[in-house]
Chains A and B, each alone.
Chain A
C-alpha cells in the first residue's frame, strides 16, 4: 500500500491533504458548533440564526483544519531537523504524518458521535478515546516510518526521540490541559 502511495506521490499528496481537512471537520464539528453557539449566546440566547451558527462552525472547523494541514509539515520538519535525521525525505514523511492524522480524525470523530446519543461518556470518553486512538496511530506511524527510513543502527535513536516527543505531547495535551 505504501509503495503504491509513494509511487503516486503527487496524487496521494493532494488526496491526503483534502482528506485531512475534511476528516478534521468531521472530528471537530461538535466543538466548533459549541464554540459558535457560545459566540451566539454572548448576544443573548439563540441570538444568531441557526444556519448562521452552523455555517460559522463549519467555517471555523475548515479553517483550523487548513491551518493544521500546514502546521504538520512544520512540526515534522522541526522534529527531523532537531533530531538530525537528514536522510529522511521531508515531504514524504509529512505526507505519512498527514495520513495517520487523517486516520486518527476519522476514528475519533466516529467515537465522538456517541455523545450525541448519551452524555454518560462525555468526560471519560473525551479523555480516553483520543489517548487510545492516538497511541494506536503513533505506533503504526512509527512502525511504517522506521521500516522505510531507518536501519538497525539509526532506529534506536529515532525510537528514543519519537518516544520523548510522544510522552511530552500526551502529558501536556491529555493530562495537564
Chain B
C-alpha cells in the first residue's frame, strides 16, 4: 500500500512539474498579440517600479529585456543571433539597447525603426505603446522581401535624456550614415486626442507618402505653440520641434519620421497629463482611450505600407535633400558672427564720427544748454494740446527734431 502511495505521489509530482514547465515555456515562447504584449510589458514595468533594492530592479529590468528579445525574435522569425542586447554606460547612466536586424541580401541601404522601452512607472503610453507598435511592424514584415535592411532598436534610457539613442548614433551604429534612408521613431502614440506625424520642420514628400497611408494620422502643426521651452536640454533646433530618440539621428542629417499623439495649442504640445508620471498605467490608458490598440495597428500598418511602397526608395533617397540646413539655420553662432562683423564696421564708423565731433568741438560753440525741464507749469500745458498756437509750435519742434535726428548736423 505504501509503495502505491509513494508511486502515485511521485507521478502527481512529475505531472505537476511537467505541467508547470510546459506553462512556463508557453508563456515565454508563444508569440503574443498586441493586447497581450502591452499587458505583459506594463506588468513587467510595474515590477521594475516596485523593486525596493537595486538588485531587484536589475532583475526586473532583465526580465523586461528577456521578454522583448524573445518576442522580437518570434515576431520577425529570425535566429536568436539576429537579436542583440548591447550594454552602454554614459557617465552615471547605464542601460541596454536591444537590436534586431532584418537583413536584405546585397544592399547596404537600411531603415531604422526605434522606440524606447524604458518607462516611468508602468509607462503604458510612454512607451509600451511604441514598443508594441514596433512589435506589430515586425510581425507585418515577417517573410517580406525588402530592398533594404531594417534595423529595429528598442532604446533604453530615453527618459534620462535620450542616452540610449545618442549612444547608438555615436558609438553603436554599424553602417554609414549615408546608407540610412530614414529613421522611424514611435513614442507615446496611445493617448491624447490626435495621432501626429512629424518628419521635418516643414512639409516634405516623405511626410506626404506616410500620411497617404492612413487618414487617422495628421501632420504636426509645425508653427504651433510657443518656442523656447523645448530647448531646455540643449539639442538646439530639433528640441524646438519634438524631442525624442529621433533627435540624435536628425542631428546626423538622417531623415526622420516621428509618430506621437497629443494635441497642440498656443502653449505648444500637450500630452495627456499622465506622461512621465506614475499615473501612466494600463488601467488609466484604457479609461482615457479605450481604442488605444487601434492606434497601435494604425501606425504599424502605415509604416509597413510605407516600407512596401514601390516609390519608397526614391522618396527616402530624396528626403535628405529636403532637410533644412540645421547648421546654417539653427546654429546660434552664425548670426552672432554676423552681429560681431556689423559691430566691427560700426566701431569704424564710430571712430570716424568721433573725429568729426572733435573737429566740431574745436570750431564750434560751447553755449550752455539751458533747456530747463519745468519751463512751464504742468497744469497750463496738460490740457493745451488742442490750442492752435501749441499745434504750430509742435509742428516746428517736430520739424527740428526730424532734421536733427537724421542729418546729424547743427
Chain A contact residues, CB within 8 Å of chain B: 1-4, 6-11, 30-31, 33-35, 37-38, 41, 44-47, 50, 53-54, 87, 89, 91-92, 115-120, 122-124, 126-128, 131, 135, 140, 143-144, 147-156, 159-160, 163, 167, 170-171, 174-175
Contact = CB atoms under 8 A, between A and B. Distances in A.
A38 B361 contact: no
20 contacts: A4-B397, A6-B371, A8-B381, A30-B226, A33-B266, A34-B268, A37-B226, A44-B273, A44-B275, A45-B272, A45-B275, A45-B276, A46-B273, A53-B267, A118-B222, A127-B339, A131-B342, A143-B405, A144-B404, A156-B354
B226 A34 contact: yes
B339 A122 contact: no
Question: Interface residues of A: mostly helix, strand, loop or mixed?
Answer: helix
B201 interface: yes
A152 B366 contact: yes
B176 interface: no
A122 B269 CA distance: 17
Given A34-B228, A149-B369, 15 more contacts: A1-B401, A7-B375, A10-B378, A34-B226, A44-B274, A45-B269, A50-B265, A115-B223, A124-B335, A127-B336, A152-B365, A156-B358, A171-B340, A175-B336, A175-B340
A46 B368 CA distance: 62
Contacts of A44: 273-277
Contacts of B237: 122-123
B365 A151 contact: yes
B331 interface: yes
B376 interface: yes
Interface of B: 201-202, 222-223, 226-229, 232, 237, 240-241, 265-277, 324, 329-332, 334-336, 338-340, 342-343, 346-347, 350, 353-354, 357-358, 360-361, 363-369, 371, 373-376, 378, 381-382, 385, 390, 393-394, 397-398, 401, 404-406, 408, 410
A175 B350 CA distance: 19
Given A30-B226, A91-B373, A123-B237, A152 B364 contact: yes
A120 to B, nearest CB: 7
A140 B405 contact: yes
Contact of A159 (B266, B277, B343, B353): B353
Given A1-B397, A170-B343, A116 B223 contact: yes
Given A9-B374, A119-B240, A149-B369, A3 B397 contact: yes
Contacts of A147: 404
A45 B382 CA distance: 52
Contacts of A31: 228
A155 B361 contact: yes
The 7 closest A-B CB pairs, nearest first, are A152-B364, A127-B335, A34-B228, A45-B271, A34-B229, A156-B357, A153-B366
B330 A123 contact: yes
Contact of A9 (B360, B369, B373, B410): B373
A52 to B, nearest CB: 11
A44 B126 CA distance: 12
